[in-house]
Amino acid sequence: MPPSVYLDHNATTPIDPAVAAAMEPYVREFFGNPSSIEHSHGNAASQAVDRAREQVASAIGARAGEIVFTGSCTEADNLAIFGVARAHPDKKHLVISQIEHPAVMEPARILEKEGWRITYLPVDEMGLVNLETLKASLTTETALVSVMAANNEVGTLQPIREIGKLCSEYGVLFHTDMAQLVAYGSIDVERDHIHLASLSAHKAYGPKGIGALYVRSRRPRARLVPLQFGGGQERGLRPGTLNTVAIVGMGKAFAIAQQFALSDAERVRRMCDSFKNRLLSSVEGAQLNGHATDRLANNLSFSIDGIEPLALMRSLRDQASFSASSACSTDKFETSPVLKAMFGDTQRARSAFRIAPGRFTTTTDMDRVLDVMVKEIVRLKAVAPAA
């Protein structure tokens, strides 16, 4: 039997071989502490970190000094939300969308318990926020707006440039979680009026355990209060010995993405379009979730009448790996908050599953999975009444 096809790239991506090759010397040979620049071992590590910082910054149109390395995109989100809140005690209002990742949603809820006023922007059935609703929510007390660039579950792309422009006009800081966009999108924080952006390596063919936060240093400058305290690394915003190996990997991954994101996106979009069209025409009661066109190139979210997504996943686990919900909530068997925000607590929300090919997925892989998936859906529909 051929190996199982991996179609869960919105959860994590495999490390690109070029990234692994770039990291390998820093596992064995260049092991020095990058803070110990006085000797050659530390200096070599420091130079590698500097190069990676420049690579990450270049990929998003930022300056190298505006990149703060963290342990994950989740940590970057927390630093952005809590950091802005602590730095602006005179402003007690935060605006986020109802479909934010838990790494944004949970810090907002904690702030709410501490007396902050949180506006949770609703979304329509495509998962889009409304710009007029956002505009109406802004006040002189609003410190931050946080809206993710691309949703990891349904793939919808938000109008980030328009949101950033609106926030700039009102003098409000704008943060966006860009974990999903780096591998398949064009990012320019200056063009899009972004003041803070959370980034992930392992969603862009880099290693796990490393992320970064873009913190704008130009006007309007984003001011943050650190959440951790120690040796003063990363401008004092994220102290601790830098993970040189992972940082090198993130830098290389972002350099590759900067060069190939758009061509990769075009290729995976063609595969997804073919898969989507064939599945929707072959399966009665199948619906695509998320925006029809303004969506991640590699994301397909479906709901199918009469199909329990976990049953489909289990029956096909030896042939394909895909997801029924966000991988960050695998211990919870409940309706996705994202789908509930879009459709309410409905059957469509409960029956959603996600197909997400990637850089190394082939059309043969997609065709093989589609064939077995359609057959299994037909079988499950046939036995559902008896069950």
Q: Cα-flanking dihedrals φ and ψ of residue 129, to 5°?
A: -80, 155
CB 151 within 8 A of CB 338: yes
Distances in whole angstroms, Cα of residue 104 to Cα of each of 65, 78, 118, 144, 385: 24, 7, 12, 12, 41
Q: How far does Cα 109 stand from its chain's mean position?
A: 20
Q: Which residue reads 């796990």 in tokens? A: 208
In terms of residues, how long is the chain?
A: 387
DSSP letters along 63-131, please?
A: -GGGEEEES-HHHHHHHHHHHHHHH-TT--EEEEETT--HHHHHHHHHHHHTT-EEEEE-B-TTSPBPH
The three-state secondary structure class of 93 is: strand
Tell me whether residue 73 is one of the annotated catalytic residues: no
Q: Cα-flanking dihedrals φ and ψ of residue 222, to 5°?
A: -90, 115
Q: Are strands 93-97 and 117-121 parallel, antiparallel or unpaired?
A: parallel
Q: What angle do CA 130, 264, 102 make, to 5 degrees?
A: 45
Per annotation, catalytic residue among 73, 167, 272, 328: 328
The three-state secondary structure class of 359 is: coil
Q: Can you tell me the distance from the alpha carbon of 168 to that of 92, in angstroms, rounded to the nearest whole number?
A: 18
User: 346: which DSSP letter?
Assistant: S
Instruction: Give the residue numbers annotated as catalytic, written as ranges.
Output: 328
